[in-house]
Structure 1
Amino acid sequence: MDKSHPLVAVAFMLAATAFIAGTTLLAKMAGAGEAGLHPLQISQGRFLFAFLGFWSAAAVLRPRFTRPDMKVHLARTLAGWAGVTGMFAAVQFIPLSDATAITFTNPVFAMLLAILFLHEKVGPWRWLAAAIAFAGALVLIRPGPGTFEPGALIALGAAAVMGTEIVILKALTGREKPFQILLINNSLGVVIATIAALFVWQWPSPEQWAILAALGLMMATAQSLYIQALRRADASFVMPFSYATLIFATLYDFGMFRAVPDALSFAGAGIILTGGLLMAWREGRRA
């Protein structure tokens, strides 16, 4: 693993964030209008075309696999499928920037779960960072009598599930190679997502098929770029650049839907970013 190319790592991470934000934009497009697809079906398209992309790469690269821990893979995939489906549902109700910002609270949930299940010790700085990030999420949820934003609550639930996935993924990354993890994840994911989508299935239009194909391939590309970034620099250095996803999501949402974040959106996103960057800084100091 080469950790000596930080600028290349940053380039890979920024490219990954552009693709990740692009997948949420495509999910919003696929679900828009009266004939829009259900989030379960959008999630199925994401896993289907990512599955095809990774297996096509495997046929060319012919990687060597070790024996996988299928129980851990299944738990991780269930959490990942639930998280991405929740995210795709949330963007149908709230701006991409708000949904993206709220999902950045997933490290908070990962920290809490790591305390419970991995018995990790958490100091006052990480608790402070978690509290700041969660306060930002509350701003975006817009609490008050009759003013809770359902889409924001869905995004917060997605962040919680994504935090679960992070904790489970920690158990895999030290045992198996990244490509094997991605291949198994998308193979299991397409089965789970297809079963769930059968209950809401409608035949997509040619345009929707194209959107789903682009979404799945963009997600596969983002995952690959993300791993390449982590291979070239320490996680504590490169992870803060993942917050560029919020910038791309805001630009995409304005370009396609002319959505302009309001003052509360800017405030909430800023608070979450502050907490996230504080947590990343503390992780770097600990490392």
Structure 2
Amino acid sequence: MRGPAALLDGLPLPLRGPAWMIVACIAFALVWALIRAASADLHPFAIVFFRNLIGALIILPIAAGAWNPDTLRRWPAHLRRAGSGVVATYATFFAIAHAPLADVQAINFAAPLFATVAAALFLGEKLRARRIAALVVGFAGVLVVLRPGHLPMTPGIGAAILSALATAFSLITIKQLVGTDDPRLVAAFTFFIMLPISALVLPFYWAWPSPMTWLILVGVGICAVVGQLATSYAFRAAEATAVLPYDFIRFGIVAAIGWQAFGETVDAMTLVGGAVILATSIYLAYREQMAARSVRPASEPPIT
């Protein structure tokens, strides 16, 4: 068995990365819609547990074919990935249940910006003038979405900001792990480590799901696994600058779901701010790609 990557192997190579990113966008947009629906019956923190339980059961046979004992030697990095993932997941699920979906998505686009700052602080990466300028523009986009003094800083919006920060740390660790570990194992260890942590939290928010909510929770788990795997394969099949522009599709899907299913509206400032944030993230990815090429040995083949 060749794994999930075989599903799109028939596509020309330049199309595989964008195709996987579009799959990820659809999957994550559905996760958000299903979380909002399930939160009418369950607390968001209880939904986190079921997401991890169902996701772990689904990804176990997928990851089994990629098992490598050497992965265990990198368990500290997997713990860091799962730890930041726990914070990001709880914050995201709370934000989705308590804030407009489009606002949460726009703020979530800031995660790569925060990751760039975190890489400079914790990994010693240099912030040159162009990156600093891009960060300033990106954070200006965040302020356009938040509009301090105009929009109230609700717990849901605060959770969305915390989610973006935690996601930034996850991105850094994923970047380190996928260089040595199979993407299936990186995703699987996240589910496996997060499951017992969310089980400890569950008793404080427990309620029996209704039959319909059980179906929704299964959908959350399935879509979460598809989204994580598709994102990993997208970045493995193509450079970040080739696939990141397609991430804005998720913003459109999430905004449409919020409008059609939950009666939410999206104002022009949120659209503008989200576009600025995403454009800055794409530029930073481009600069990272150029920097990597400049230090690659002449004998090393380019990434394809």
TM-score for both structures, normalised by structure 2: 0.86
Would you say the 8 A contact 2:134–2:283 is kept in 1?
yes
Select between 145-154 and 92-101 the one with higher mean Cα deviation. Answer: 145-154
Amino acid at match of 1:278: Y
Q: Which residue of 2 aligns with 1:174?
A: 179
Q: Which residue of 1 aligns with 2:15?
A: 7
Residue 62 of structure 1, CA deviation: 6.5
Q: Which residue of 2 aligns with 1:29?
A: 37
**Counterparts of 1:237-252 in structure 2 under 5 Å?**
237-252=242-257
Residue 41 of structure 1, CA deviation: 0.8
CA distance in 2, matches of 1:153, 1:241: 26
Residue 80 of structure 1, CA deviation: 0.7
Deviations 1:34-93 (A, max 9, x none): xx311211111111111010113345x474442422222112101112102111111222
Matched, 1:269 2:277: no
CA distance in 2, matches of 1:263, 1:180: 40
CA distance in 2, matches of 1:259, 1:113: 33
Match of 1:56 among 55, 58, 61: 61
CA distance in 2, matches of 1:222, 1:17: 7
CA distance in 2, matches of 1:223, 1:20: 8
Structure 1 gap ranges (5+): none
Q: Which residue of 1 aligns with 2:297?
A: none
SS for the counterpart of 1:66 is: helix
Residue 12 of structure 1, CA deviation: 1.2
Q: Which residue of 2 aligns with 1:66?
A: 70
Pick closer, same or farther for the CA change 1:149–1:270 going to 2, 3 Å. farther
Would you say the 8 A contact 2:59–2:188 is kept in 1?
yes
Select between 164-173 and 71-80 the one with higher mean Cα deviation. Answer: 164-173
Q: Which residue of 2 aligns with 1:256?
A: 261
SS for the counterpart of 1:11 is: helix
Select between 227-236 and 103-112 the one with higher mean Cα deviation. Answer: 227-236
CA distance in 2, matches of 1:104, 1:146: 19
Pick closer, same or farther for the CA change 1:234–1:271 going to 2, 3 Å. closer
Pick closer, same or farther for the CA change 1:15–1:67 going to 2, 3 Å. closer
Deviations 1:109-168 (A, max 9, x none): 111111111100122222222222222222222311783243222101110011111122
**Counterparts of 1:199-218 in structure 2 under 5 Å?**
199-218=204-223
Matched, 1:108 2:116: no
CA distance in 1, matches of 2:248, 2:129: 23
Pick closer, same or farther for the CA change 1:262–1:126 going to 2, 3 Å. same
Would you say the 8 A contact 2:88–2:167 is kept in 1?
yes
Amino acid at match of 1:277: I
Pick closer, same or farther for the CA change 1:37–1:283 going to 2, 3 Å. same
Match of 2:50 among 28, 45, 49: 45
CA RMSD of aligned residues (A): 2.2
Select between 277-286 and 118-127 the one with higher mean Cα deviation. Answer: 277-286
Q: Which residue of 2 aligns with 1:98?
A: 103
Identity of aligned residues (%): 30
Amino acid at match of 2:84: A
Number of equivalenced pairs: 283
**Counterparts of 1:111-260 in structure 2 under 5 Å?**
111-144=116-149, 147-260=152-265
Would you say the 8 A contact 2:63–2:185 is kept in 1?
no
Pick closer, same or farther for the CA change 1:281–1:71 going to 2, 3 Å. closer
Amino acid at match of 1:196: V
Deviations 1:251-284 (A, max 9, x none): 2212211322023322322322232233233334
Select between 271-280 and 40-49 the one with higher mean Cα deviation. Answer: 271-280
Deviations 1:167-216 (A, max 9, x none): 22233222322222122111111111111122111111111111111001
